[in-house]
């Protein structure tokens, strides 16, 4: 399986499940615990409850706490280069943008204008350790998972494109496969893709061993002990 090839059925499944399920399924596919390519800490979601964003990473770094030191022509040219880089196919793609001012970010890169532009370019969402704003007026259908919410754009400018970035402890490289929702984000390893759909099914089947009895009338500690024994025998 090449890096650009994600089966349509897997993409559809990934869009329908939450990121904790994907995190668990990766461990099932790997046959062990210890998967650690996920964000740390609590992040802000523009509209909790939206479907997950899934796609290949398009990476960049920005700053906004202080004015840029380069000339204005260079900054403008790099911003246009940024949009060309974000538009690079094939999709689906996710904008993964590191604000190098973290944890003192002030620059609301993700607001009404940029959401409309990135959505119009065909991207499926944005992941950042930086700031989002305009939450009441941004377009629907473009989830943003951000480090904070704020009112200003500061001196925001693009620093570089296509290099590895770090978002809340998660390192993301260009073209990595990202899954993110209100819980955080993960990078899905390429080698688990062939087994991931089946692994998601296994996660749900294993959880049903406990959830089914727990939600039925007459659930007792004896019922739990019997169910938990079956659960422990099956889970990763």
Q: What is the average pLDDT across 154-178? A: 98
Cα–Cα–Cα angle for 93, 125, 200, rounded to 5 degrees: 75
158 and 52 both lie in a single domain: yes
pLDDT tens profile 18-75? 999 999 999 999 999 999 999 999 999 999 999 999 999 999 999 999 999 999 999 9
Residue-range definition of the domain harbouring residue 219: 194-234
Question: What is the rounded CA–CA span in Å between residue 67 and residue 81?
Answer: 19
Same domain, 84 and 132: yes
Q: Are residues 175 and 204 in the same domain?
A: no
| Residue 91 predicted with pLDDT over 50 | yes
Is residue 70 located within the same domain as residue 119? Answer: yes
Query: Residue 89's pLDDT band (boundaries 50, 70, 90)?
Result: confident
User: What is the Cβ-side half-sphere exposure of residue 193, based on CA atoms within 13 angstroms?
Assistant: 20
88 and 171 belong to one structural domain: yes
Report DSSP letters for 81-116, one per residue.
HHHHHHT-SSS-EEEEEEETTTTS-----BSHHHHH
Note whether 1 and 193 are within 8 A (CB). Answer: yes
Please indicate, yes or no, if residue 79 is contained in any of the structural domains: yes
Q: How many domains does the chain have?
A: 2
151 and 66 share one domain: yes
Q: If pLDDT is split at 50, 70 and 90, which confidence band does 3 have?
A: low
pLDDT-based confidence at residue 119 (cuts at 50, 70, 90): very high
């Amino acid at each position: 399986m090449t890096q650009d090839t994600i089966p349509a059925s897997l993409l559809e499944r990934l869009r329908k499940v939450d990121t904790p399920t994907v995190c668990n399924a990766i461990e099932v596919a790997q046959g062990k615990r210890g998967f650690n390519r996920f964000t740390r800490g609590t992040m802000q979601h523009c509209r909790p409850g939206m479907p997950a964003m899934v796609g290949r990473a398009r990476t960049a770094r920005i700053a906004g706490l202080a004015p840029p030191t380069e000339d204005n022509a260079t900054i403008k040219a790099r911003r246009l280069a940024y949009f060309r880089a974000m538009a690079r196919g094939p999709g689906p793609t996710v904008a993964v943008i590191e604000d190098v001012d973290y944890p003192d970010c002030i620059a609301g890169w993700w607001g009404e204008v940029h959401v409309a532009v990135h959505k119009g370019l065909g991207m499926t969402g944005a992941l950042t350790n930086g700031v989002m704003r305009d939450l009441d007026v941004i377009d629907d259908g473009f989830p943003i998972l951000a480090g904070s919410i704020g009112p200003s754009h500061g001196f925001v400018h693009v620093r570089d494109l296509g290099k590895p970035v770090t978002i809340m402890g998660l390192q993301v490289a260009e073209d990595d496969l990202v899954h993110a929702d209100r819980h955080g984000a993960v990078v899905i390893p390429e080698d688990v893709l062939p087994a991931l759909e089946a692994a998601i099914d296994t996660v749900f089947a294993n959880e049903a061993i406990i959830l089914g009895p727990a939600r039925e009338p007459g659930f007792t500690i004896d019922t739990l002990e019997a169910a938990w024994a079956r659960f422990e025998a099956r889970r990763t």
